[in-house]
């Protein structure tokens, strides 16, 4: 279930919302992101604050997904991130590659070396974002959040308040 895409964030007028993509964690294993040099907008949550992720020429940004958090029992945490759209007259291009298993895959716990296992706090417990060991469950949750209007129209039974 790998996926690569080209994402364009057009510039927005002053006074309009600059939300390109709201805060979220990727549902799979890893996301590798190629960002146009000199173009900001990607932000990661660090200790409750949004921090700009500056692109490094010739390098990928790598986000840990929810399944890698499950596999490591929380030793590695899924990256909470968002994208802020550029101002009017500019645009942002990015190329994310999502490394994911099949939709029906259940991710097992990876045996960590003892010194790392003691530092693994377990999978994040958040009733508003339950993380599953089954990729398809995480993917469905991500799609419902990303497209609430479509979900409400076609699957109102799956949308929660």
State the CATH number of the domain containing residue 148. Answer: 2.60.120.330
pLDDT in tens, 27-49: 999 999 998 888 889 999 999 99
For residue 65, give its domain range.
3-158
Q: What is the pLDDT of residue 160?
A: 66
Model confidence at 148: pLDDT above 80: no
Q: How many domains does the chain have?
A: 1
In this prediction, residue 57 has a pLDDT band, given cuts at 50, 70 and 90, of confident
Burial class (CB in 10 A: 0-12, 13-18, 19+), 74: middle
User: Could you tell me where the DSSP H helices lie in 4-111?
Assistant: 66-71
**What was the pLDDT predicted at 161?**
55
Confidence of residue 52 (pLDDT cuts 50, 70, 90): very high
Q: How many Cβ atoms sit within 10 Å of the Cβ of residue 81?
A: 22
Low-confidence winner among 31-35, 58-62, 124-128, 141-145 (lowest mean pLDDT): 141-145
Residue 60 sits at the vertex; the CA angle it makes with 91 and 42, to the nearest 5 degrees, is 40
Instruction: Report, in this order, helix, strand and coil percent for the chain, each rounded to 5.
Output: 20, 30, 50
Query: What confidence tens digit (pLDDT) does each residue in 60-87 have?
Result: 999 999 999 999 999 999 999 999 999 9
């Amino acid at each position: 279930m790998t996926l690569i895409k080209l994402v364009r964030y057009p510039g927005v007028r002053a006074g309009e919302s600059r939300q390109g993509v709201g805060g979220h964690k990727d549902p799979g294993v890893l996301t590798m992101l190629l960002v146009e040099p000199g173009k900001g907008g990607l932000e990661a949550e660090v200790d409750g604050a949004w921090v700009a992720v500056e692109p490094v020429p010739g390098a990928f940004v790598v986000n840990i997904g929810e399944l890698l958090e499950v596999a490591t029992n929380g030793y590695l945490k899924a990256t909470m991130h968002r994208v802020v759209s550029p101002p009017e007259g500019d645009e942002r291009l990015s190329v994310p590659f999502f490394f994911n298993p099949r939709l029906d895959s259940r991710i097992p716990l990876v045996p960590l070396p003892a010194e790392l296992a003691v530092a693994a706090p377990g999978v994040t417990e958040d009733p508003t974002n339950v993380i599953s060991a089954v990729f398809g469950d995480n993917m469905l949750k991500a799609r419902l959040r990303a497209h609430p209007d479509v979900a409400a129209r076609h699957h109102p039974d799956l949308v929660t308040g």
